[in-house]
Amino acid sequence: MKVAVFAVLAFLSCCSGTIDGAVCGSYDPRFKICCNGVLSHKGLNSACCGTIPYDHRLKICCNGVLSHKGFNSACCGTIPYNHRLKICCNGVLSHKGFNSACCGTIPYDHRLKICCNGVLSHKGFNSACCGTIPYDHRLKICCNGVLSHKGFNSACCGTIPYDHRLKICCNGVLSHQGFNSACCGTIPYDHRFKICCNGVLSHKGFNSACCGTIPYDHRFKICL
């Protein structure tokens, strides 16, 4: 009799209570399942849909709605579907066919069309978007929503495209580059000969640091 009592106590000690114990109390997870605070008979159930336990091999839970699984493998809102046959675009379920992407709620074949900010267009050689307009990045350049001929231009200064080898953009102002390699506000300068201290451009000399707007040689002076 003592052996039987000891066995029961040992079972309760090792097997009654899980991570969900505080919610569902003490239970044996081999026989029961806790779903959001509701304790149910486990059987073949292996998952929860809200407070309802279910067998994930036979059913599917879509945003709290339990449905027969069949060949369904994904959810579109509360509706289960077979992702090989259908496509879900922002909550709208459509026939998949060759469609592989979504433009808003419209499915499309990304090999033939391009979606630019919700507007679907014929792709052709277009590979990028400028706002809602598709374009070929090899031939054109988009600068802040303005589409221009690319040529040798490789960068943007506001809405203006430019060749970074010949020009420099300083805070939206485009200037001839020459030997200039840096900007002081809107003014380009050669950092080898000049120094910019808080927007004030000065002769560099041996100066290598700034104290407010004043350049100084940190080897001999200190800024307090």
Mean pLDDT of 143-155: 96
DSSP secondary structure letters along 36-99: TTEEEE-TT--EEETTEEE-TTTEEEETTEEEE-TT--EEETTEEE-TTTEEEETTEEEE-TT-
For residue 23, the model assigns a pLDDT of 83
Give the pLDDT band (50/70/90) at residue 4: very low
| DSSP state letter for 26 | S
Give the pLDDT band (50/70/90) at residue 3: very low
For residue 56, the model assigns a pLDDT of 96
Q: What proportion of the chain, given as a percentage, has pLDDT over 70?
A: 90
Give the pLDDT band (50/70/90) at residue 22: low
Mean pLDDT of 38-59: 96
pLDDT at 37 over 90: yes
Higher pLDDT: 14 or 176? It is 176
Q: Which of 200, 173, 176 is nearest to 186 (CA)?
A: 173
Q: What is the pLDDT of residues 178-211, one digit of tens each?
A: 999 999 999 999 999 999 999 999 999 999 999 9
Average pLDDT along the chain: 91
Q: Which of 148, 145, 144 is nearest to 136 (CA)?
A: 148
Mean pLDDT of 152-176: 96
